[in-house]
Chains A and B, each alone.
Chain A
């Protein structure tokens, strides 16, 4: 399997919460990132979490990390149509500056 796995699609109603999940394989990962890609644009860093943290909250975004299961999630509260984009999970291993990306999850927000 791939080093970083994500489901390809998620559809939610405007105003609901979105939860995007990611699993990774390397327990030596030090940083885990969430990037957002809007149509016609490059990837933009949304948030990150260090491996010694379990949770990080930043306004509408909540990142949860389960190191035992190597599972990372991104929760977007009160999802808006402007949140429609592709969300990439990425990990960076200790001693390396090059991250490994997942395939990306397309989030579709409908009225």
Chain B
């Protein structure tokens, strides 16, 4: 596997279910991100893990819970979601730290298309 991979690619869940999204990066990066992409809205940064520090968007509901066990893996745990949470969830990674150049650009996975019924 190369780059950033995400599983599953598609997920349909009920509002009472608990599920997890998985992301794995094979690029040796030290920062990983979760984004939410909804139709006609800006890309929303949900969580960042960088150098083992977690940065989060305070507007993200607690029904989304990230986990980053190591620098290569990132999870997004989902529970009691709402229909408005249906979206494409994108994972990305980059090499964070002192600005060294545009090599700090983010590499994205293909996303998980989530539908909440």
Taking beta carbons and an 8 Å cutoff, which residues of A are in contact with B? 2, 4, 8, 30-31, 33, 35, 40-45, 48, 50, 88, 92, 94-95, 97-99, 101-104
The interface residues of chain A lying within 8 Å CB-to-CB of B94 are: 97
- Across the A-B interface, how many residue pairs have beta carbons closer than 8 Å? 58
Most buried by B among A4, A31, A97, A99: A97
Asked whether, in the complex, the Cβ of A97 is within 8 Å of the Cβ of B99, the reply is: yes
Q: How many chain B residues touch A (Cβ–Cβ < 8 Å)?
A: 28
Taking beta carbons and an 8 Å cutoff, which residues of B are in contact with A? 4, 6, 31, 33, 40-43, 45, 48, 50, 55, 90-92, 94, 96-97, 99, 102, 104-111
- Which residue of B is nearest A2, CB measured? B42
Asked whether, in the complex, the Cβ of A42 is within 8 Å of the Cβ of B99, the reply is: no
